[in-house]
Every structure is written in C-alpha cells, then in structure tokens.
Structure 1
C-alpha cells in the first residue's frame, strides 16, 4: 500500500515537472499560434480529464491490489494451516497403520487361539458325550446292582432270622454250660501270657470310690481312653481340646489344640506316639504326641465322624465311621484313605480285632458286623441289640466283645461265634 502511494506521488511530481519544462515552449508557441490556442487548450483539458480518470482507475486498482494481497496472505495462512493439518493426519495415519498391523497380528493370534479352543471344546464335548454314555451305563448297572442287592438283602434277612434263632439256641446252651462264668473271668480279669507261654490271670479290682474328680472340658467330655500300658489318660470334649492327665495325681499333663469341631471319639496308636480324633467337622485329626503338632487332617467323610479306632498291630492303620453310612480305612504313613466300606445303616462304634485285618462295627439297626478291611467284604452279622449299638469294647485277649445298646443293656459276644457265622 505504501509503495502505491509513493508511485502516485512520483507520477504527480513528474507531471508537475513536465508542465514546468514545457511551459516556455507553450508560451512561445502561444504567441505565434494564438489561433491554435483554443484547440490545444481543449486537448489539454481532455488530457487532464483522461489523467484524472487514469488516477481514479489506478486508485481502484490499488484498492483491488490491497484486497488481493490481504486475500493472498489469508490464503497463504490457510494453506499453511491445511499443510500442518495434512502433516498431522499423515502422522495419525502412520500410527493407525502401525496399530492396524499390531491388531492384525493380535487378531491372527486370537484366531489361532480360538481355533485351538474350538478343537479342545470339541474334544471335551466328545469326552463329555462318552462320559454321559458311561454314566448312563453305570446308572443302569447301578440300578441292576441295587435290585440284586435288595434281593440279596431279603435273602440275607431270611438267613439272618434263621441264624438268630440258631444263635438264641446256642446262647441257651452256653448259659447252661456255665458260659457266664467264663465270660466274667475274661472280662473282669486280664489274660496275659508270660515269655515262657504259660497263662496267668490278674484279677481286676472293682473300684469302691473315685480317687480324683477332674473338671476336664467345658460343655462335656465326649471321649476318654488310656494310653497303652500307661497310667496316662487322654480325654476330648465339646471345647475342641484334647487333654492328657496323670491318673496318679489327677493333674493335667498337656493340652492339644487345633481341632475345628467338637470331639466325638478318640484313640491312641499302639505305640502311644499318635492321637487320632474324630470330630463333628467331618474330619479326623492326627496329633504327634512328642511335638504336640497336627501331623495329618484326614478328610473324605461327608458327615460327622462319630467313631475311630487304631490297629493293635500296626501304627499306620486306623478306621473311622461317620453318619454318612461309610466306614473308612486310613493309612497314617500316606495320609489318605485306602478303603471305604458302605452300608445302609450308620455305624455308631467300631474296634479292630487283635490280628489287625478285621474290624467289628456296631450299627443303628442294633446289629454287630464283622468286616475284612483289605477286601471290604462283610464277613458276618449278628443281631446284638433291639435298638442302636452305642459302644464296643474288645477284651485284651481278643476273644470276647462287650457291647452296649440304647435300650440300656450290655451284651457279651464271643468272637468265635462271629467267626463261625463268617464260615471259619
């Protein structure tokens, strides 16, 4: 804009200079050419008009030039902005292409994983179908076995009625021969064999009063047992603790903690190194006596464990019974169940025989049963009580079994009779 103004000033100055330069000539010419003055005057006026028009046109062009320059600058700024935008878009496009490439790789990996999952799912579906077929076959076999078992049970019940009648006759005969006196000697006395093999009898003393009265457990004491060949007593109760007592002084020797339920029964291994507890938490707990630590927590029962006993010949085998209608044989060295015996009537009490291969169990239906723990086979069955059997105790020589029932009676059974019923 300034350049245009300078140009206009220069043109006007030039015009004035030209008028000044030509002034003498004009005066000289005007004298001889006075007659032509009016004509030249008109031409000059016309030229001045044309010059003014030229100035006006030049002014308009200058204004247009200013507008065009402003538009050009705006267009240039807009162009730069668009170029920056294009550059940003190109960068974003590059990033998008990189992300797209990465997503393509991830998609391929996911596709491969999906194909693998589909194939595994197909295999699992095939296995599931096979297992379904097997389950249906097993269910059919189970129904068949149940029918056969019920039929066998009915037949066994008939035979059992006959055996019970025979058993009553045999009891009458044994009583007539003085079996009561023999049983009393075997239960009240302790039969031992010396190293030379000769038998001698040590008569047990009937207590006339209590030596000690011990407040042992809060909520009641549910189980109590002596250590083998020891004067120390082990008790367990509702307070989830096991306590060991000195019977000579009546003092507490030790307390074991860690049981998660009420203690319903307990036993001691024949070497007195472990205490096994049956609890209401559906588990058994095995304590190491020397360290007072829990060595095993045996799980597998689905209801309260109500009875437990240890083998009299092996420190690694114990048996337990629960309200889930099962009797389980456990290996303490391995820490798991090695056999499960299933019966329709719950077992309330059990004990090992002297050989460690068979167990006696007392059930809710009042029957006493003999089992082989290796094969799980029921060897014999005797009706011991009219109501549920509540406890079982085997004599130290292993020949006589003392049971108690809910009808407040005790029964003395000969192990020989049980083995006779078993076919031995």
Structure 2
C-alpha cells in the first residue's frame, strides 16, 4: 500500500516537475521577450531624448524668431498708423481738390457760355457787316463807281489819261527808310496806301521810300507778319498755317483783308481788325504764288502742279482751273483792266487768259505786267531781267 502511494506521489511530483519545467521555459521565453523589449524601449528612449533635445533647441530658436517677429510687427504697426494718418490727410486734400475742380468746372462752363454768346454776337455783327458790304457794292455798281475804283486802285495814272500833268514821276530810292529784323522772308506785299520796295535777305527785310501803314510778308515760321512801316514794329502776327508761308496779298479794295498761302495746302483769309482767320480754302497741290482780284472776292493761285486756279474766297469754291505750265508756277500777276492774268513757271512764261506762251529762258522767278498792259517784265534765277 505504501509503495503504491509513493508511486502515485512520485508520478504526481513528476507531473508537477514537468509542469514547472514548462512554466520555467515559458517564463524564460517571456524573460527573453521582455529583455528584448526593454532593450528596444531603452533605444527608443534614447532616440526620444535626442528628439527632445533637438526640439528644445528648435523651441529656443523659435522663441527668438517669435521675439524678432513681434518687434517687426510693432514697427509695422507704427508704420501702418503713420500711413493711415497720411491717407486721411491725402483724402482731405483730395476732397478739397475735388471741390476746387467742381468750382473750376462750373466757372469754365460759365465762361464757355459767355464765349459762345460773344461769338454769336460777333457772327451777327459779321452778318450785318457783310450785308452792309454787299449793299455798298450794289450801290457802287449802280452808280458806275466800280470802274473808277479799278482805275485809281493802284494810284497809277496812264499818260493818255486826263490829269497826268498833276503827277510827278517818282524817283528811285537811294536810302533805306526802315530795316525790320525778322526770319528768312519768302514773299512780301504792301497795303493799298503804302509805297514801298522790299528786299528779302536771309535775316531781315528792308523797306525803301515808305510812307506809312501796313505791309505783310510770309516767312518760314508758318505765320504772316503785319508791320507798321512808320515805326517798324510788328502790328499783327497771323498764326494758323502749319507749314511755310509762300504767298501773301492785300486786298486792293480794302486794306483790312489779307490773304496768305502756305505749303500746308491751304489759303487763308485774314481780317486785320479782328486779328484772326475768317475763311480757309483747301487744295491738293502746294501754292507758290497768288493774287487777289480788284474787288477782293476772287483769288488767283499758282501751284506746284503747274495749274492756275480761281477761288471764291468767301465760299472757298473752285471757280475755274487752267493747266498752263508743265512745271511749277512761280508768280501770278493780274492786269490793271482785270482782263489778263500773267503767270510764270520754272520753264516758261504764259499769258494764261490769252493762252499764249513764250519760252525765253529757264528757272523763272517772278514776272509782272506794266500799267498800260503793253509790256511784261520777267526775272530769271540767272540774274537777268527780260522785258
């Protein structure tokens, strides 16, 4: 009995021993795992400590940056406050300027209204003056005074007319009456009641044997000058052309009106009493020379294309055109009886309305008709004068 009990106890003890061995092996495995985990945790802890150190360093740097940014923010805040104050001042100034602009606009509108009213009044007065002028012309034609005006308009009495004994032949001037300094003069003309001779060097114009009143001349400054001969001072400066002025003429009916032609392809009619242009005629070829009719209503213009054109100066309408030259027209002259027009070109001289041409030399500059309509004088660029 005892042997069997011991045997059973031995078996139980063996079983317990086996269980203990198994438990010990399990514990060993757990110990190995825990040791490995401990090593891993230790390595992780070291890495985290390094990260913590790095983060502390970054935190320190971030704090420094934050301090710098805070200082910059304070400076920018101060700058913003200054800008806001300046903006308020600028806004106040803008409001003041806006008020001034509105006031100026209202004043400008008022001035424009006054100016338009004045222009309307001037137009009415001009219409009245034109009506009076037309009425005077009608009376002159009705009374037969127009022919008398044509005979006396240039102050010349023919030898075969009555009254020649009362006139003394004029002498050639020997001294210069006035010397007017100006720019290069291309053309000059005198008014009705002035006796003058003009020469045109590069920088001045000389007037010989003068009495009084106003000549006018073209120059290279796109303007015409009206000079008082008695004082030598410029009375009017007529501006309006955009290129060189090459021809001017004064109305023989009234010294009030002046006509000018320029290389801007325009002819302008000027009123010396008002001091501005009253009409403009446009054309396609530059004008070198021109002259006014005796009644002051028609302009004869010679152009670069060799044609002579007749214009109604009041309406600007082309009345007639003659192709008289094969080259540029250099001068236009009107006979005393208003029946012939003499034109000269760079290659020929032609009595246009009689359609007869005479080629004598080359490069003609100017030509004119004698008072008795019997002779023609022409000057050439070679220094010769032909009669």
Please name the residue that 1:408 is paired with.
383
Please name the residue that 2:191 is paired with.
227
Does the CA contact (< 8 Å) of 2:304 and 2:327 recur in 1?
A: no
What aligned pairs does 1:22-421 form with structure 2 within 5 A after superposition? 191-192=156-157, 197-200=162-165, 201-217=167-183, 220-230=184-194, 231=212, 232-271=214-253, 272-300=255-283, 302-312=284-294, 314-343=295-324, 344-365=326-347, 367-372=348-353, 378-383=354-359, 385-412=360-387
What secondary structure does 1:249 align onto?
Answer: coil
Q: Once the two structures are superposed, what CA deviation does each residue of 1:193-237 show, in whole Å capped at 9, x if it has no partner?
A: 69x8232443222222212221123xx111111101233211110
Does the CA contact (< 8 Å) of 2:344 and 2:367 recur in 1?
A: yes
Does the CA contact (< 8 Å) of 2:329 and 2:346 recur in 1?
A: yes
Q: Number of matched residues? A: 212
Distance 2:274 2:305 in 1: 32
What secondary structure does 2:181 align onto?
Answer: coil
Distance 2:156 2:237 in 1: 33
Structure 2 residues without counterparts, runs of 5 or longer: 1-154, 195-211
Q: Once the two structures are superposed, what CA deviation does each residue of 1:341-373 show, in whole Å capped at 9, x if it has no partner?
A: 1142321111111222321111121x221122x
Does the CA contact (< 8 Å) of 2:342 and 2:368 recur in 1?
A: no
Distance 2:300 2:285 in 1: 15
Q: CA deviation at 1:191?
A: 4.6
Does the CA contact (< 8 Å) of 2:281 and 2:313 recur in 1?
A: no
Does the CA contact (< 8 Å) of 1:241 and 1:255 recur in 2?
A: yes
Call closer, same or farther: CA 1:303–1:226 in 2, change over 3 Å. same
Structure 1 residues without counterparts, runs of 5 or longer: 1-189, 373-377, 413-424
Distance 1:397 1:228 in 2: 19
Q: CA deviation at 1:398?
A: 4.0
Distance 1:395 1:295 in 2: 33
Does the CA contact (< 8 Å) of 1:310 and 1:318 recur in 2?
A: yes
Q: Once the two structures are superposed, what CA deviation does each residue of 1:126-157 show, in whole Å capped at 9, x if it has no partner?
A: xxxxxxxxxxxxxxxxxxxxxxxxxxxxxxxx
Q: CA deviation at 1:327?
A: 1.1
Which of these two proteins has the greater Rg computed from alpha carbons? 1
Does the CA contact (< 8 Å) of 2:309 and 2:322 recur in 1?
A: yes
Does the CA contact (< 8 Å) of 1:224 and 1:236 recur in 2?
A: yes
Distance 1:333 1:285 in 2: 10
For normalisation by structure 1, the TM-score amounts to: 0.47
Larger helix proportion of the pair: 1
* Aligned-CA RMSD value: 2.3
Call closer, same or farther: CA 1:254–1:397 in 2, change over 3 Å. farther
